[in-house]
Structure 1
Amino acid sequence: MNAPKPVPKPYLIRTALEEILADLVEGDPVPSERDLAAQFAVARETVRQAVHELLVEGRIERRGRGTVVSKPKLIQPLSLKSYTEGAQTMGRKPGRLLVGWEDVDPTPELAAALEIESGQQVMRLERLLLADDQRIGLESTYLPKHRFGHFTETFDPETSLYAAVRAAGVVFGAAVERIETVLASPREAELLESTTAMPMLRLNRRSVDTEDRPIEVVRSLYRGDRVAFEALLTDR
């Protein structure tokens, strides 16, 4: 019978760290890597690996020169609700920062998804998504210009786009959404105040109205350490 394999030291340190975090609350400082290495009599590299895992999971975060306990992740529902509604449900303050808003020539794939003819442009709206003033996501929305061109004059990009669509008399009917784990580009990481090594959640959505006419194609990139998603599943 083979002897059991020894438990890796980083796992033991991570377990000990989780016990420490259980007694702390949001914003409390976490012991430094040097102090933890001395406390558990291990190399700082061993501590650093365990700390990195907790950073990636969003349990802790860097603030200045120190590390503190993070806020709980923002839980977003997988539904036809807007990001605003999801944030408000959790008691968080939603916000948006405009990155860019322009008319662009669509790729053949985008033109097909929005069911527009060759030569027609689409509106591209790129915004940073905030929760309690933290940057949590980067969203690029493509809208058929022939249908929503008036938004250029009437829509405030720091407010809910879905509310504006509904106010225009358009009713969301259905959407197909795909979620993948990716790494951010250098530009995306900078906008999200993150790094290219931090895992991101990428959502690709195509929404249609109740008459099956395309409303939008959206590509959203969320920080995996700050956001999680959930869905209600039922067989009824």
Structure 2
Amino acid sequence: MPEHGRVPKYYTVKAQLVGLIAELGVGALLPAERDLAATYGVARSTLRQAISELIIEGRLRAHRGRGTFVAAPKLIQPLALVSYTEALREMGHQPGRVLVTLERVSADAELAGHLAIAEGAEVIHLERVLLADGEPLGLESTYLSYQRYPTLPEVLEPTGSLYQCMEQRLGVVYAEATERVETVLASPREALLLRGNPALPMLLMQRVSLDQQGIPIERVRALYRGDRIGFETRLRAG
């Protein structure tokens, strides 16, 4: 509650919209703004503020020229060393990937430190859009030492699972990882690849994975649409 003790008008409208969303169901078209504003007795600017927050939260989806629709629930992916492909299939969704970049570049000082290689050493850069049921969910950029995995570009299926390729084709076993999660705004290029709104917050995940000998396998920078996906993990005491 605000200090003055009054609930903002838009927030009251937002709560009413949440109830309407539950009644309408996934995929339903929201009534026109003018009708909703009249129903709730508020200005259209107040209504738009409530709708904007629900879009940011992933409860609604706006399509220019078509209207605003009730969104499907977010996908909730576990924070674990598992394949994106396996995780989505277990949730009943069809995974997919679109190759954006596959190249060899020189490692700068920061990347070299993460991969425990010399600065300037060649690395493989793999960038792909992650899909769920044909819809873009994330943009994943992965860097691996070319000296350690020189055959990777030849054995990797560009739209397949990197995790499975590393384990099944190259015999690399993922043992542990350090991962950091924060919120950011996408660049115009990233928003275009994700078919998202640059004004909406994204989830940025940065990870360094290690093998059983403690040698770095990869550094990953993955940008996910905060309106379509969330993450969960299990915590244990001690």
Normalising by structure 2, report the TM-score.
Answer: 0.95
Structure 1: stretches of 5+ with no match in the other structure: none
Structure 2: stretches of 5+ with no match in the other structure: none
Match of 1:185 among 174, 184, 187: 187
Deviations 1:74-120 (A, max 9, x none): 11111101211221121111110001111111110101111112331
Matches within 5 A, 1:86-97: 86-97=87-98
Structure 2 residue identity aligned to 1:31: P
Normalising by structure 1, report the TM-score.
Answer: 0.96
Deviation, 1:5, is 2.7
Deviation, 1:32, is 2.1
Q: Using the aligned pairs only, state the percent identity.
A: 51
Q: What is the rounded CA distance, in whole Å, between the counterparts of 2:198 and 2:68 in structure 1?
A: 20
Deviation, 1:194, is 1.2
- The answer on whether the counterparts of 2:77 and 2:231 sit within 8 Å (CA) in structure 1 is yes
Structure 2 residue identity aligned to 1:62: A
Q: What is the rounded CA distance, in whole Å, between the counterparts of 1:34 and 1:189 in structure 2?
A: 30
1:99 corresponding residue in structure 2: 100
Q: What is the rounded CA distance, in whole Å, between the counterparts of 2:174 and 2:229 in structure 1?
A: 24
Structure 1 residue identity aligned to 2:128: R
Deviations 1:163-193 (A, max 9, x none): 0011111111100000010001111111111
Q: What is the rounded CA distance, in whole Å, between the counterparts of 1:11 and 1:212 in structure 2?
A: 50
Structure 1's consecutive aligned runs of 4 or more residues displaced over 4 angstroms after TM superposition are: none
1:14 corresponding residue in structure 2: 14
Q: Is 1:165 matched up with 2:142?
A: no
Number of residue pairs aligned between Structure 1 and Structure 2: 234
Structure 1 residue identity aligned to 2:50: A
Matches within 5 A, 1:8-157: 8-63=8-63, 64-157=65-158
Q: What is the rounded CA distance, in whole Å, between the counterparts of 1:127 and 1:40 in structure 2?
A: 44
SS at match of 1:23: helix
- The answer on whether the counterparts of 1:75 and 1:86 sit within 8 Å (CA) in structure 2 is no
Q: What is the rounded CA distance, in whole Å, between the counterparts of 2:120 and 2:94 in structure 1?
A: 40
Q: CA RMSD in A?
A: 1.4
